[in-house]
Chains A and B, each alone.
Chain A
Amino acid sequence: MEKFIKLSDTAIPLAIENIDTDQIIPARFLKATDKKGFGENVFRDWRFYKDGSVNKEFILNNKNYKGSILIAGNNFGCGSSREHAAWALAGYGFKVIISSFFADIFKENALNNGILPIEINIKILELLLQKIENNPTTKLSVNLEEQELNTPFGNIEFEINSYKKLCLLNGYDDIDFLVSKKKEIEAFEVSYKK
C-alpha cells in the first residue's frame, strides 16, 4: 500500500447526502477480475448520460474544480460492500475524502487502499462545501501525523484509529500484520476446538 503522510491540494465539493457505493461505481462495472480501470467509471451515471454524453452540470465535469480531495455530504459510502468503490475513487486520483459521516465498510475499504477518510462536524462540512463551491482554488492541507485538517475556518483535529494511522503512515497493510500473528492464531485454534 502507498504511504500517506501529508497532502495539500484543492478539493471537489459534492454536496449530496447518502452517496451509496452503487453511485460511486455501478454494478455493471464489477465484472473485472483485477483492480485496474475503475477510476474511469467513478460516479459514471452522474458524470455521463445514458447515451454517453457528458453531464456538464455534474461537478466532476466542471473544469473549475480539481484536486485529490473529495468533500461529500453526510453518510458517504453506504450500501454495498464493494471495494471497487474505493478502487474507483483511488483510480480517479482521490487521496482524501471529507464527510461528516462514513459507512463502516466503506471506511475500512478506503483505509485498506491508502485513501484517508476524514470525519468532520456537519456544520463545518456545510461551510466547507459552500466555501469551496464559491472559491474552487481554496487549498486544504492534511497532516496525518498531527491528525490535522487545515481549512479556511482554522485547523480541525480529526480522529483515526491509531493502528490504521500507523498502517497509512508506513504503507503497511493488515495481511502483513495478520500473517505475522500466525502462531497466536494457531494457538487460538487449538484452544478453541476444545
Chain B
Amino acid sequence: MMAKTLFDKVWDAHVVDTIKNGPQILYIDKHLIHEVTSPQAFNELKERGIPIAHPEKTIATADHNTPTKDQHLPIKDALSRNQLEQLTKNCKEHNITLYNLGHKYNGIVHVIAPELGITQPGITMVCGDSHTSTHGAFGAIAFGIGTSQVAQVFASQCLLVQKPKSLRVNVNGKLKKGVLPKDVILYIISKLGTNSGTGYFCEYAGNVFEEMSMEGRMTVCNMSIEMGARGGMIAPDETTFQYIKGREFAPEGVELEQKIAYWKTLKTDEEAVFDKEFSFDAEDIAPMLTYGTNPGMGIKINETIPIESNESFEQSLAYMNFQKGKKLINTPINFVFIGSCTNSRIEDFRIAANYVKGKQKAPNVNAWLVPGSQQVVKQIKQEGLQVIFEEAGFELREPGCSACLAMNEDKIPEGEYCISTSNRNFEGRQGQGARTILASPLVAVAAAIEGKIVDITKPF
C-alpha cells in the first residue's frame, strides 16, 4: 500500500465521491458556527426551502461580536444585538445546540470545542472562521470556510473541495528558556512568509511539538492560516488522549479504548513524501515580535527591523511608525491584550500570572485579559489567578474574541501600540489606526509591567 501522511489518512476516510477533473465531496463530522458568518447561510437555505441535514452535528456559540463587560445586560449596539438574536432564533428553529452568552460553556468557538471534548483526532471539522485550523492540534482535519460553504454544509453535511498539497514543518531540539509555542509559530511564519502554505495543509512534526501541551499545539495550529495554509495538524499521542479523557462530550469506557486504538494509527507513515518540507532548529528560536502589518513580519525580540525597500514594506512601517534597522526594545506600550483563539487558554493565564505575581502594572498601560471561555474564567478563579491579576492592576474581562478583531467595543485607539497575543497585526485589525505587535503571553505581560517592550531573555 502507498505510504500515507496523517492528513491523507483522515482525508481519504471522509471522501464521499470524486468528481472527474473536479473537486471531491468531503464529509464533515462537526460543523461549528457563530453569529457573524452564519446568518446569510441560514437565509440561503430558507430561500431555497432546504432543511439542515444534520443539526446534531452542528454546534453554535456567540463569540465574535459579544461584549466582554456586563454580558448579563442587554447589548447596547442595535446591530450587534440583532446579530445575536438572529443566531438564537436560527438555532432554535433548526434545533441546533447553542452556547449563548452567559451559558457555562460559552466562549470562543476554537476554545470551547476542544475543552468540551468535541474536537477529536481523525474527524473533519469546519467553521466559518479561518482559525478553525486550531483543532488540527488533535490530529483532526479542521479548516475555515466562507458563508456559501457554511450553507453547503448545512444542506448536505459535505463540502466540495480540492485536496490540498502536503507540507511538513519539522522543529527539533531544545527550546530556550522563555520561548513559548507562540514564538515557535511566529518564528516559522517569519521564515516562510505569509503565503508559503497557500494551497497546502501543514503537518507539524518533531520533538518540539511532541513535548508541547495541547494548549501549545493549539496555538501553533491556530496560526497555520497566517502562512496561508488552510490547516495545520499534529499527530495525536498520549498527551492528546489524556486531554480528551473525561471531557463533556468525550467518549468513555470501551468506546474510548476503541477510539484510542484507532487514533494511534493516525500518524504519517515513514515512507510518506510531502510536496514541501522545511526543518528548523529549536535552539535558533527566540521570543518573537512582529514589527509590520502582517504576521510574517516578525523578528527575534533583540533583533533589528530588516532593511528592505519596496512599496508594501515602506507602507507597513509607516503605518506602524517604526524605522528600518531599529530595535523594538524599549518601545513604550499603552495597551496589552491577552486573549483570542490563539492564546486565551488556562495555560496562557498561568504563565501570565506566574510572571505578574507580586508586581504592578505600569501606570501608562491598559491591560486587558480576555479568557477564551466561561470554563477558563472558572479555572482562573479557582486557581487564584484572578487575585494576582487584580492586585497587579490588570482587568479580567468576560470571554469572547474581543480586541483580536475589534468588532465589539474593545478597540485600541488610533496610533496606540498594543502588544497582543492574538494572531493578526493587519492595519486597523484592533481598531482604526491601531498598531498591533504580536507576541507571546510572556512577552506581552512583561510589557504590561514595564510599560515598554523588554527583552525577557535578559535581566533588566
Query: B-contacting residues of A (Cβ < 8 Å)?
Result: 15-18, 20, 22-23, 26-28, 30-35, 45, 50, 73-75, 78-84, 86, 101-105, 108-109, 112-113, 161-164, 173-175, 177-179, 181-182, 184-185, 188-189, 192
Contact = CB atoms under 8 A, between A and B. Distances in A.
B25 A79 contact: no
A193 to B, nearest CB: 11
A83 B147 contact: yes
Contacts of B128: 81, 83
B148 A45 contact: no
A121 to B, nearest CB: 15
A96 to B, nearest CB: 19
Contact of B426 (A79, A83, A104): A79
Contacts of A18: 194-195, 294, 312
Contacts of B158: 178, 181, 185
Contacts of A103: 195, 198, 228
Interface of B: 13-14, 16-17, 19, 21-23, 25, 27, 36-37, 39-40, 43-44, 48, 50, 53, 64-65, 77, 79-80, 82-83, 86, 128-130, 144-149, 151-152, 155-160, 162, 164, 194-195, 198-199, 225, 228, 230, 294, 310-312, 315, 405-407, 414, 424, 426-429, 432-433
Contacts of A82: 36-37, 146
B439 to A, nearest CB: 19
Contacts of A184: 16-17, 25
B146 A86 contact: yes
9 contacts: A15-B311, A18-B312, A27-B429, A75-B228, A78-B194, A83-B147, A105-B146, A175-B44, A189-B27
A22 B427 contact: yes
A24 B158 CA distance: 28
Contacts of B19: 163
Given A30-B407, A175-B44, A179-B156, A80 B130 contact: yes
Nearest to B312: A17
Given A30-B36, A184-B17, A83 B228 contact: no
Contacts of A32: 79
A23 B426 contact: yes
A130 to B, nearest CB: 12
Most buried by A among B43, B144, B148: B148
B407 A45 contact: no
A177 B39 CA distance: 22
A21 to B, nearest CB: 9
A109 B144 CA distance: 11
A178 B25 contact: yes
A22 B156 contact: no
Given A33-B39, A80-B130, A163-B21, A185 B16 contact: yes
A81 B79 CA distance: 21
A168 B198 CA distance: 23
B25 A185 contact: yes
B156 A182 contact: yes
Contact of A179 (B16, B50, B195): B50
Given A31-B83, A78-B228, A188-B16, A175 B424 contact: no
Nearest to A163: B22
A79 B145 CA distance: 12
Nearest to B405: A27
Nearest to A179: B155
A34 B43 contact: yes
A30 B428 CA distance: 14
Given A17-B312, A33-B86, A181 B148 contact: no
Nearest to B164: A104
B143 to A, nearest CB: 8
Contact of B230 (A105, A113, A162): A105
Given A163-B160, A179-B50, A184-B17, A31 B407 contact: yes
Contacts of A163: 19, 21-23, 160
A104 B199 contact: yes
Contacts of A179: 50, 155-156
Most buried by B among A27, A30, A80, A103: A27
B16 A83 contact: no
A160 to B, nearest CB: 11
Nearest to B227: A78
Given A31-B407, A79-B130, A20 B294 contact: yes
A192 B426 contact: no
A16 B315 CA distance: 9
A83 B427 contact: no
Nearest to B87: A33
Given A30-B407, A73-B312, A179-B156, A35 B40 contact: yes
B194 A75 contact: yes
A138 B80 CA distance: 44
Given A27-B406, A109-B148, A81 B40 contact: no
A75 B428 CA distance: 19
Given A108-B146, A163-B22, A45 B50 contact: no
Contact of B155 (A80, A175, A189, A192): A175
Contacts of B86: 33
Nearest to A180: B156
Nearest to B424: A79
A112 to B, nearest CB: 4
Contact of A161 (B23, B83, B311): B23
A75 B158 CA distance: 28
B195 A101 contact: yes
A73 B433 CA distance: 22
A81 B39 contact: no
Contact of B160 (A23, A78, A177, A189): A177
A81 B162 contact: no
A34 B147 CA distance: 11
A17 B195 CA distance: 11
